[in-house]
């Protein structure tokens, strides 16, 4: 679709977002990856949002790793 300038994928298992952006209405796209602590800018919507705001109400499961427990630090 020629009108789409950018789109994103939001991971449901970890704090990770990928945004694909079209370059100057061409067929060339770039991928930008974002993680914990990053801020995402969506140029087509003229907004900037911290990734923590996207995941604000998400509770990830507690994982056991090599005999220790990892707990979501945002809880």
Domain range summary for the chain, segments of one domain joined by +: 6-70
Would you give the DSSP letter of residue 20? Answer: E
Phi-psi region of 69 (alpha: psi -120 to 50; beta: other; left: phi over 0): beta
For residue 62, give both structure tokens: 């507690």
> What is the per-residue pLDDT across 6-58, written as a single tens digit (0 to 9) for each?
999 999 989 999 999 998 777 899 999 999 999 999 988 999 999 999 999 99
């Amino acid at each position: 679709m020629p009108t789409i300038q950018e789109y994103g994928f939001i991971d449901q298992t970890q704090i990770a977002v990928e945004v694909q952006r079209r370059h100057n209405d061409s067929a060339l796209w770039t991928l930008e990856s974002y993680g914990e602590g990053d801020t995402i800018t969506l140029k087509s919507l003229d907004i900037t949002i911290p990734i923590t705001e996207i995941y604000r109400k998400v509770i990830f499961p507690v994982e056991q790793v090599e005999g220790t427990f990892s707990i979501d630090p945002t809880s």
